[in-house]
Amino acid sequence: MTLRRRLAAMILPDRQADRVVPPSGPTAWLTTFTAAAMTFLAVFALALSLASGRLADRWAGALAGTATIRIAAPVDQMAVQTAAVLDILKTTPGIASARAMTDDEQRALLAPWFGPDLPLEALPIPRLVELTEDADGFDSEGLRQRLLAEAPGAVLDDHTRWQRPLAVGASRLNLLGTLSMALIAAIMAAMITLAANASLAANAQVIRVLRLVGAQDDYIAAAFVRRFTLRALMGSAIGAIAGTIGIALLPPVDEAGGFLTGLGFTGFGWLLPLALPPIAAAVALLATRAAAFRKLRELT
CB of 217 to other proteins, least distance (A): 6
x/- map, 9-48, other proteins, by CB under 8 A: -----x-xx-xx-xx-------------------------
Name residue 245's amino acid. Answer: I
The gap between the terminal CA atoms of the chain, to the nearest Å, is 21
Residues pairing with 70 in the sheet: 128, 155
CB of 10 to other proteins, least distance (A): 15
Q: Is 62 in the site for other proteins (CB under 8 A)?
A: no
Name residue 97's amino acid. Answer: S
The total of other beta-carbon atoms located within 10 Å of residue 1's CB is 9
**Contacting residues for 278 by C-beta, under 8 A, at least 6 apart:** 233
x/- map, 217-256, other proteins, by CB under 8 A: xxx-------------------------------------
**How many whole angstroms separate alpha carbon 48 and alpha carbon 170?**
10
CB of 219 to other proteins, least distance (A): 6
Stretch that binds other proteins, among 79-87, 178-186, 201-209, 262-270 (CB under 8 A): 201-209
Mapping DSSP to helix (H, G, I), strand (E, B) and coil, where does residue 259 land? coil
Angle at alpha carbon of residue 242, lines to 25 and 235, rounded to 5°: 25
Q: Is 185 in the site for other proteins (CB under 8 A)?
A: no
Where along the sequence are the contacts to other proteins (CB under 8 A)? 1, 14, 16-17, 19-20, 22-23, 205-206, 208-219, 296-297
